Chains A and B, each alone.
Chain A
Amino acid sequence: RKEVEQDPGPFNVPEGATVAFNCTYSNSASQSFFWYRQDCRKEPKLLMSVYSSGNEDGRFTAQLNRASQYISLLIRDSKLSDSATYLCVVKSSNDYKLSFGAGTTVTVRA
């Protein structure tokens, strides 16, 4: 079983729509959680950290469910520029390693 699993998508949504997707992680000792964004042929960039209480950053909302070991990302009022692959990333507290999911591809169409 992979450490981090994601629905690869693609999620094709119109501008202005809301899109949400999850990832699951297998290591219950995981302590830090992130969403990274990767544009086509570019490097991954941190989108946001995910906190236990859930957090928002503009149109983006991240949630963590430790009991079920999943993380979610919701994008409201989608923009064309939101088209990218979103990588779910998990890290144990006593470990430097980031475990990356394979990514969920989102395409926002006009």
Chain B
Amino acid sequence: DAGVIQSPRHEVTEMGQEVTLRCKPISGHNSLFWYRQTMMRGLELLIYFNNNVPIDDSGMPEDRFSAKMPNASFSTLKIQPSEPRDSAVYFCASSLGGAVDTQYFGPGTRLTVL
């Protein structure tokens, strides 16, 4: 079975540009998570969707970040405008849901904002 799919795997952009990261969760999973990982802060949860509905976006750094999940098989994380401090690895993860469940991570998108 395919795991979580993310694209692009690498993104290099200039400050001020819009960046869109994409994620396809594992089929049948109803929970989706976007994380950001940096050396300084480790893994941080940005936003959590359940059944395509955003449940908790308290980890989204600021209004420049937005996320959508238009259907059960696709989600986007958008940064507009991007800043150098947004440089990080962005992971998408999905899970079946429930009290005790495993989150499966995608390969991540390595974002560099110049």
State whether A46 and B43 are in contact (beta carbons under 8 Å apart), knowing that A96-B50, A96-B55 are contacts in the complex. Answer: no
Residues of A near B48 (CB, < 8 A) are: 96-97
Q: Does the CB pair A43–B50 fall under 8 Å?
A: no
State whether A43 and B42 are in contact (beta carbons under 8 Å apart), knowing that A96-B48, A96-B55 are contacts in the complex. Answer: no
Q: Does the CB pair B105–A103 fall under 8 Å?
A: no
Distance of A44 Cα from B42 Cα, bound (Å)? 12
B45 on interface, CB distance cutoff 8 Å: yes
Query: What size tier do the contact residues of chain B reach?
Result: 20 to 34
Which of B45, B91, B102 is A43 in contact with, Cβ under 8 Å?
B91
A57 CB to nearest B CB, Å: 14
Which of B42, B100, B110 is A100 in contact with, Cβ under 8 Å?
B42
Interface of B (DSSP majority class): strand
B25 on interface, CB distance cutoff 8 Å: no
Q: Does the CB pair A98–B42 fall under 8 Å?
A: no
Q: Does the CB pair B31–A96 fall under 8 Å?
A: yes
Q: Does the CB pair A97–B108 fall under 8 Å?
A: no
State whether A103 and B91 are in contact (beta carbons under 8 Å apart), knowing that A44-B105, A93-B99, A96-B31 are contacts in the complex. Answer: no
A89 CB to nearest B CB, Å: 9
Interface string of A66-110 (1 = CB under 8 A from B): 000000000000000000000100010110111011110000000
B103 on interface, CB distance cutoff 8 Å: yes
Q: Does the CB pair B45–A98 fall under 8 Å?
A: yes
Q: Does the CB pair A97–B43 fall under 8 Å?
A: no
B54 on interface, CB distance cutoff 8 Å: no
State whether A100 and B102 are in contact (beta carbons under 8 Å apart), knowing that A43-B91, A43-B107 are contacts in the complex. Answer: no
> Closest 5 CB pairs between A and B?
A43-B105, A100-B43, A102-B42, A32-B100, A46-B102
22 pairs of residues in contact across A and B, judged by CB atoms under 8 Å? A31-B99, A31-B100, A32-B99, A34-B102, A42-B107, A43-B105, A43-B108, A44-B43, A44-B105, A46-B104, A49-B100, A87-B43, A91-B100, A93-B100, A96-B56, A96-B97, A97-B45, A97-B48, A97-B56, A98-B45, A98-B103, A103-B42
